[in-house]
């Protein structure tokens, strides 16, 4: 079990040897592939952000409108794709699906960031720096063994993340069915801010589970192609942290 639905022992064991692969998984290889995915994501976000701004300069409101559409389409598409990959459990590494996920996240994150930046100037840089700081801190805590990560820790994280996902999916269903919103948690009051702090904390600690499973996969000499799965899982966790940090900062600034 793990806090990250993509990275867990069952998935690694099921998928790892479904296709032939030359070489074995390494921690360094997984991190290099994660860097590739993050690089593509950041460049894509920047280009889309600049495109929205250029559209708003020539036709006021056009860029914001497109950003809203991109955020909606990208967010829903990325969510459905991840759920599909979790339950379908494809053979090997579905490179096309992972590429599609990055493309959808570019739409979602660029659109969301642009709209948030419009409402709260400077929030994009703030959220980016906080996310980088959290990632660095979690990396230090794991590599220094300041926090012991093992099966029990991962089971707790799986339960916490599952609870959060249950609340979020329940909120989406309530909103689509009857336009109902769970009270307080989305507001900028003490309860809303406290809720966001808890979610950011949970999202941050999923990185420790991710590092554990990457290290375990390398120790068990899983096939080389599993490095892409590891990188994919890391991207999902960091994206979640960034989105939750955006929400938290926006509440603090209201």
CA 170, CA 193: separation in Å to the nearest integer? 20
Tokens of 134: 């959290």
Q: Has residue 231 been placed in a domain?
A: yes
Residue 55 DSSP symbol:
H
What pLDDT score was predicted for residue 253? 92
Q: Has residue 134 been placed in a domain?
A: yes
Q: Has residue 3 been placed in a domain?
A: no
Local mean pLDDT, 10-residue blocks, the chain (254 residues): 68 65 88 95 97 95 96 94 79 80 97 96 97 97 93 91 89 80 82 95 95 91 88 94 97 91
Q: Has residue 1 been placed in a domain?
A: no
Alpha-carbon distances, residue 121 vs 6, 172, 231 (angstroms): 34, 28, 31
pTM of the entire predicted model: 0.92
What's the total number of domains in the chain? 1
Q: Has residue 235 been placed in a domain?
A: yes
* Boundaries of domain holding 190: 9-253
Q: Has residue 169 been placed in a domain?
A: yes
Place of tokens 């590599």: 143
Contact 212, 158 (CB under 8 A): no
Q: Has residue 102 been placed in a domain?
A: yes
Place of tokens 């997984």: 30
Q: Has residue 220 been placed in a domain?
A: yes
CB contact set of 45 (below 8 Å; sequence gap of 6+): 106, 109, 110, 113
């Amino acid at each position: 079990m793990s806090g990250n639905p993509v990275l867990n022992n069952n998935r690694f064991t099921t998928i790892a040897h479904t296709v032939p692969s030359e070489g074995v998984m390494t921690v360094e290889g997984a991190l290099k592939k994660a860097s590739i995915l993050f690089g593509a994501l950041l460049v894509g976000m920047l280009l889309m952000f600049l495109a929205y701004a250029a559209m708003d300069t020539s036709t006021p409101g056009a860029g914001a409108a497109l950003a809203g559409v991109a955020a909606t389409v990208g967010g829903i598409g990325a969510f459905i794709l991840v759920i599909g990959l979790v339950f379908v459990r494809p053979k090997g590494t579905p490179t096309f699906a992972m590429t599609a996920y990055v493309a959808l996240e570019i739409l979602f994150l660029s659109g969301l960031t642009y709209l948030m930046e419009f409402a709260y100037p400077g929030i994009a840089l703030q959220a980016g720096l906080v996310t980088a700081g959290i990632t660095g801190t979690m990396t230090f805590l794991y590599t220094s063994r300041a926090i012991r990560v093992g099966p029990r820790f991962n089971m707790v994280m799986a339960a916490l993340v599952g609870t959060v996902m249950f609340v979020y999916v329940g909120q989406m269903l309530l909103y689509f069915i009857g336009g109902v919103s769970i009270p307080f948690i989305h507001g900028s009051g003490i309860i809303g801010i406290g809720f966001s702090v808890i979610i950011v904390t949970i999202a941050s600690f999923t990185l420790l589970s991710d590092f554990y499973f990457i290290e375990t996969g390398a120790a068990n000499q899983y096939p080389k192609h599993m490095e892409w799965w590891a990188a994919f899982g890391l991207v999902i966790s960091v994206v979640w942290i960034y989105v939750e940090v955006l929400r938290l900062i926006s509440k603090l600034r209201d």
